[in-house]
């Protein structure tokens, strides 16, 4: 799935109208800085900023430690583990209302295959009221993923082609 993603010439995902219509000033939207051919959420970030939302990015230390969402004003990022770029660890931790979620694979039922460290499943459990939006390239769709007991499904998936609601 990582190879299929990296081979795809498209990267940008346009902001879907159901996403834009949900944005309100002061909402906290967690995004991510794409790596390794991941779908690029930049246009959704721009829409959220235009709507007056505050942005956050994930910060990780290692596979075991839960990720934290740290405030991000759009400024420079620091090098993190796994080749990630993330806010400095001293940035303020904020509770997200919307989580734009990277993924390796997804299905139409909202199941998500991630990097295998459980960072997002643990974050979804910590913020159960947040709106969980997968950001993907259409080549990342698979017929069906078999969820594990701890897997928390996505509310929707945005790709370069469509908005998928289970
Ligand atoms: N852009 C982005 N940021 C993100 C994630 C993500 O998937 N994408 N995460 C999602 O949870 C968290 C970081 N979690 C990660 C957990 C494990 C590995 C990892 O084990 N990578 C492997 C293989 C990398 C590769 O082959 O490309 C490694 O480094 O060995 C990477 C990220 C938070 N930030
Ligand atoms: N809510 C949770 N509390 C504690 N451990 C969890 C929780 N959710 C997942 N895990 C652990 O995380 C591990 C990896 O989960 P999984 O393979 O589903 O990760 P993933 O969703 O693919 O990865 P990621 O979210 O990092 O991109 C599992 O072994 C599981 O025990």
| Residue 108 contacts residue 164 (beta carbons within 8 Å) | yes
Mean pLDDT of the chain: 97
Specify the pLDDT at position 7: 93
Specify the pLDDT at position 70: 98
| Range(s) of the domain holding residue 43 | 2-164
- Kindly state the average pLDDT of the residues 110-136: 97
Specify the pLDDT at position 44: 98
CA of 92 to the centre of ligand 1 (A): 22
Place 128 in a pLDDT band, splitting at 50, 70 and 90: very high
| Residue 114 contacts residue 121 (beta carbons within 8 Å) | yes
The pick from 115, 125, 140, 151 for probing ligand 1's pocket by mutation, whose C-beta has the most ligand atoms within 8 angstroms, reads 115
Take residue 9 and report the two structure tokens written for it: 């010439």
Cβ atoms within 10 A of the Cβ of 1, count?
14
CA of 82 to the centre of ligand 1 (A): 6
Specify the pLDDT at position 145: 97
pLDDT digits (tens, 9 = 90+) for 27-55: 999 999 999 899 999 999 999 999 999 99
HSE-CB for 43 with a 13 A CA cutoff: 15
- Kindly state the average pLDDT of the residues 65-94: 97
Instruction: Evaluate if pTM is beyond 0.90.
Output: yes
Specify the pLDDT at position 166: 96
Whose tokens are 């235009």? That residue is 50
- Kindly state the average pLDDT of the residues 71-95: 97
| Residue 136 contacts residue 8 (beta carbons within 8 Å) | no
State the Cα–Cα distance between residues 163 and 42, nearest whole angstrom.
16
Specify the pLDDT at position 52: 98
State the Cα–Cα distance between residues 31 and 20, nearest whole angstrom.
14
Domain with residue 65: its CATH number is 3.40.50.10420
CA of 148 to the centre of ligand 2 (A): 9
State the Cα–Cα distance between residues 91 and 45, nearest whole angstrom.
18
- Kindly state the average pLDDT of the residues 5-12: 92
Q: How many domains are there within the chain?
A: 1
| Residue 146 contacts residue 112 (beta carbons within 8 Å) | no
ipTM of the prediction greater than 0.90, yes or no: yes
| Residue 158 contacts residue 145 (beta carbons within 8 Å) | no
């Amino acid at each position: 799935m990582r190879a299929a993603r990296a081979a795809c010439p498209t990267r940008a995902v346009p902001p879907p109208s159901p996403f834009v219509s949900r944005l309100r000033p002061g909402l906290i939207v967690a995004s991510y800085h794409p790596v390794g051919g991941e779908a690029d959420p930049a246009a959704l970030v721009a829409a959220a900023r235009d709507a007056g939302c505050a942005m956050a990015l994930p910060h990780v230390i290692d596979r075991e430690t839960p990720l934290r969402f740290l405030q991000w004003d759009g400024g420079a990022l620091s090098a993190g583990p796994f080749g990630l770029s993330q806010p400095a660890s001293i940035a303020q931790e904020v509770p997200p209302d919307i989580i734009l979620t990277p993924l390796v694979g997804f299905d139409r039922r909202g199941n998500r295959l991630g990097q295998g460290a459980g960072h997002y499943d643990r974050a979804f459990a910590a913020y159960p009221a947040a709106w969980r939006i997968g950001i993907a390239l259409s080549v990342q769709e698979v017929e069906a993923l078999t969820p594990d007991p701890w897997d928390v499904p996505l509310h929707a998936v945005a790709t370069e082609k469509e908005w998928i609601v289970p």
